Amino acid sequence: MASERLTPLSEDFSSWYNELVYRADLADLSPVRGSMVIRPYGYALWENIQDTLDGMFKASGHENLYFPMLIPVSYFEREKQHVEGFSPELAVVTHAGGKELEEPLAIRPTSETIIGEMYSKWIQSYRDLPLLYNQWCNVMRWELRTRPFLRTTEFLWQEGHTAHAGAEEALEEAFRMVNIYAEFARDHAAIPVVVGEKTEGERFAGALRTFAIEGLMRDARALQCGTSHYMGENFARAFDITFSDEHNRLRYVHTTSWGVSTRLIGAVIMAHGDDQGLIMPPRLAPIQVVVVPIFRGDEPEVSRQVLDEAQGVAQELSAAGVRVKVDTREGLSPGWKFNDWEQKGVPLRIELGPRDLKAGQVVLVERIERGKASLDRSEVAAAVPARLEEFHRELYARAGEFRDAHTFTVDDYPSFRQRVEQGWVYAVHCGRPECEQEIQQDTKATPRCIPFDGPAGEGSCVRCGEPSAYPRRVIFSRAY
């Protein structure tokens, strides 16, 4: 219930997160362990994420299609690294129609294998390239430890899979897509992310190079918000995806894959929320403005006037392109409604009572600082869209200030161990997976990425003293 006290995030971030997911009506528990029901408010947020990204993908030349969720298990065995990376998470169907299947079928954990099989049929000549495809679907990974939106047995995502004639073109695609994700995070989710490449030990199973966007959450832990992979010829060789080039020579294609998921909802919650609840970035918020009419039940004529005016405000805002809702719920006090909408993170609230009606104004309350200001009634339709844009900038700046205050550059391991408990650490790194494992065992921190932009990485590894493997320092952090 909105009236119950939400555990402060500074007191217990994990409890705060779990309580908020359910109290803000984003999701509910499913009868199946590790999965969730996404409620209308949470799904509306996902639809806004999906619609925005889908437009960005199509603007960059990609087309949508759909592949089945059941994949022959034998397909996973064709690419050794891929099957080793996913075998612990595979859910497998062995019986159907009252009998045992001739071949077990995996429930899609990702689609590289079945897409590789189909690409081998669709691609014959260089004229068939590139293939720039994406699908929106669900996937299943049998997780042992789950948390709503961040890590669940079943989740929603998009996965792009492209095929190209050469390495340069495929790498350009992988770079382009990770930068599209960064643009989305910045311009729509109001999350300042670092864009970079994963170290060898953190690459996607079967990839030659993996690129990612990383965000810092308000408990000073990192969250990988999206990834893009250059597969080289690995999957092409495993699935015999070949083409005849301009000189009639038979060659293997170079492939990429890239994806984001409902984990982005978790990112929005954890990058922006506070002790009162969610703070929705306006460009993704299911409801950008809520209008709360205030009146007494024993004054029916005044009540009708206030309600009519509230509906009029909503109609004007809707015509201006604002997603708006009038809260007409009965039997709830204005204070209860205020708290409820603050918990749901609605960026702006408009309060309208009899006094406001007489004065020809409304009261505008913004979610970040919860400050109140009077606004002339005639200015509402023009002022609110501009205020939502300002809200986005303030939210992005707030997240950036938090990230900067929790980002450190260190040159020795004692400082590394101290600072990594407080946020992101830039450190020189040798790149060896064995060294990364030692760091993780000692500090619970992992290398998040080698940023495209960041401090120079010359020198000796902060942990083992071996020479640096990268031109830039690596970001280490505890992460989700």
pLDDT score recorded for residue 1: 45
Residue 391: pLDDT band (50, 70, 90) is: very high
pLDDT digits (tens, 9 = 90+) for 48-98: 999 999 999 999 999 999 999 999 999 888 866 655 666 678 999 999 999
- Give the DSSP letter string of 399-459: HHHHHHHTEEE-SSHHHHHHHTTTSEEEE-----HHHHHHHHHHHS-EEEEEESSSSB--S
Q: Could you tell me which residues come within 8 angstroms of residue 212 by beta carbon, excluding any fewer than 6 positions away?
A: 178, 195, 196, 197, 198, 224, 225, 226, 227, 228, 448, 449
Least confident of 11-15, 93-97, 144-148, 428-432: 144-148
**Residue 252: pLDDT above 50?**
yes
Residue 269 above 70 pLDDT? yes
Supply the mean pLDDT for the chain. 95
Check pLDDT > 80 for residue 240.
Answer: yes
Question: Three-state SS for 299?
Answer: coil
Which residue has 């932009």 as its token pair? 453
Confidence of residue 205 (pLDDT cuts 50, 70, 90): confident
Determine whether 288 is exposed, middle or buried from the number of CB atoms within 10 Å of its CB (0-12, 13-18, 19+).
buried
Residue with token string 């996965």:
159
Fold of 289-387: Rossmann fold (3.40.50)
What was the pLDDT predicted at 86? 65
Q: Does residue 4 register a pLDDT over 80?
A: no
Domains 13-272 and 407-477 share a fold: no
In this predicted structure, the answer to whether residue 188 has a pLDDT above a threshold of 70 is yes
Work out the percent of the chain whose per-residue pLDDT is above 90: 91
User: By CB neighbour count within 10 A (0-12 exposed, 13-18 middle, 19+ buried), where does 394 fall?
Assistant: middle
Please tell me the chain's helix, strand, coil percentages from 3-state DSSP, rounded to the nearest 5.
Answer: 40, 30, 35
> Is the distance from CB of 8 to CB of 19 less than 8 angstroms?
no
Residue type (1 letter), 153: T
CATH number of 407-477: 3.30.110.30
DSSP 249: -
Residue 145 banded pLDDT, cuts 50, 70, 90: confident
Supply 359's token pair: 């004065």
Low-confidence winner among 176-190, 289-303, 319-333, 371-385 (lowest mean pLDDT): 289-303
Q: What percent of the chain has pLDDT over 70?
A: 97
Query: Residue ranges of the domains in the chain?
Result: 13-272, 289-387, 407-477
Architecture field, domain 13-272 = 2-Layer Sandwich (3.30)
As a whole number, mean pLDDT of residues 268-273 equals 98
